[in-house]
Amino acid sequence: MAERLFNFNAGPAALPLEVLMQAQEEFVDYQNGGISLLEMSHRHKRVEEMNQETQALLLELMNLKKGYHVLFMGGGASSQFALIPLNLLQQQQFAAYALSGSFSEKAYQEAKYVGEARIIASSKDQNWSQIPQLNTQMIEPDCSYVHITSNNTIEGSRYNSIPQTNKIPLIADMTSDILSRKLDFDKFAMIYAGAQKNLGPAGVTTVIIHEDLLQNASKQIPLILRYETFVKNQSLYNTPPVHAIYMMNLMLKWAVKQGGIGALEQQNKQKAKRVYEVIDNSNGFYQGFIDLKDRSDMNITWRMSSEELEQQFVNESLLHGFEGLAGHRSIGGLRASAYNAVPLKACQALAEFMIEFQRQHE
């Protein structure tokens, strides 16, 4: 095998080598059953067991107890932008959105097609360089839910604390930081995440929803769009993305082996610190986008003095075995996504490369 690259892709993103190797080992013959998982019915006992085990593992890692259901859905996190208001935005009420980056804005725009959606806080005028301040006065009682994006993948910012919502259900898009840090997950009525950043490969979206939130869910929408349908059928109402769920299963077992979320968080802090230190000590050669207090450990973003220099940085980084450092096409600059599966040594190597690049180009 060719040497593995230092993979800083934003998503789909790095998976642990041992997870890939185990999947390879089991690929043709799943658990000595004579056929592969890809060829099995989703009603097969082994698939059902794997599905349930994956749900239980996720709840356990997040320390979520009774009342929460784990759903595996298709359509990516983007489909949730529409499914959330379709299911949960009550008639005569409104949905509250805090805008902290472009994904949160997309979520808000989709909700407007469904009903009344209001922006209760936004940092758009600050070019998303910080997390908008939320307070309970902004949240009125006739509000069906409050939606936030806990980590802003494109911009590189994150909430450091969970906003208070006066008992209004809080919903978070955690696509790019789920399982990366400890949070009181039971403060959320619903959490969702496309798997392809911290949970596994593309193709499955995880929804963690509290049953209280389902009580008033809409019965006006088709069954296939209802969370309730997925809860009642353990996500086996129709054919789920079985192989993607299986990869997530392996990923969750890997996370347990690393010591769980607490251990991963410590590791992630160290990883991000390496790169931020280089940015902060570069005398402006590298310039972070985000206010220091709101920086993400998952997506580290910065600019350089010209687009030519940024391009040169990307080109040279590729030659040195780094993958995925160009910023999102919508904002440019550079971005290193250091999700759970990215090892510390990749961030160390990146930090060294950045120091050397500055020495040669300053």
295 is in an annotated binding site: no
Task: State which residue has the least CB distance to ligand PLP.
Answer: 76
- Kindly state whether residue 310 participates in binding ligand PLP, applying the rule CB under 6 A: no
* Identity of the residue, 87 or 176, whose beta carbon is nearer to ligand PLP in the bound complex: 176
- Kindly state whether residue 331 participates in binding ligand PLP, applying the rule CB under 6 A: no
Instruction: Write down the least CB distance from residue 151 to ligand PLP, Å.
Output: 6
Q: Pick from 173, 228, 265, 310: which binds ligand PLP (CB under 6 A)?
A: 173
- Kindly state whether residue 260 participates in binding ligand PLP, applying the rule CB under 6 A: no
- Kindly state whether residue 324 participates in binding ligand PLP, applying the rule CB under 6 A: no
103 is in an annotated binding site: yes
Instruction: Write down the least CB distance from residue 93 to ligand PLP, Å.
Output: 24
Q: Which of residues 94-153 bind ligand PLP (CB under 6 A)?
A: 103, 149, 153
Q: What is the 3-state secondary structure (H, E, C) of the chain?
A: CCCCCEECCCCCCCCCHHHHHHHHHHCCCHHHCCCCHHHCCCCCHHHHHHHHHHHHHHHHHCCCCCCEEEEEECCHHHHHHHHHHHHHCCCCCEEEEEECCHHHHHHHHHHHHHCEEEEEEECHHHCCCCCCCCCHHHCCCCEEEEEEECEECCCCEECCCCCCCCCCCEEEECCCCCCCCCCCHHHCCEEEEECCCCCCCCCCEEEEEEHHHHCCCCCCCCHHHCHHHHHHCCCCCCCCCHHHHHHHHHHHHHHHHCCHHHHHHHHHHHHHHHHHHHHHCCCCCCEECCCHHHECCCEEEEECCCHHHHHHHHHHHHHCCEECCECCCCCCCEEEECCCCCCHHHHHHHHHHHHHHHHHHC
Q: Pick from 12, 48, 76, 232: which binds ligand PLP (CB under 6 A)?
A: 76
* Identity of the residue, 157 or 282, whose beta carbon is nearer to ligand PLP in the bound complex: 157
Which positions make up the binding site? 43, 77-78, 103, 153, 173, 196, 238-239
Residues that bind ligand PLP (CB under 6 A): 11, 76-78, 103, 149, 153, 173, 175-176, 194, 197
- Residues annotated within the binding site for pyridoxal 5'-phosphate are 77-78, 103, 153, 173, 196, 238-239
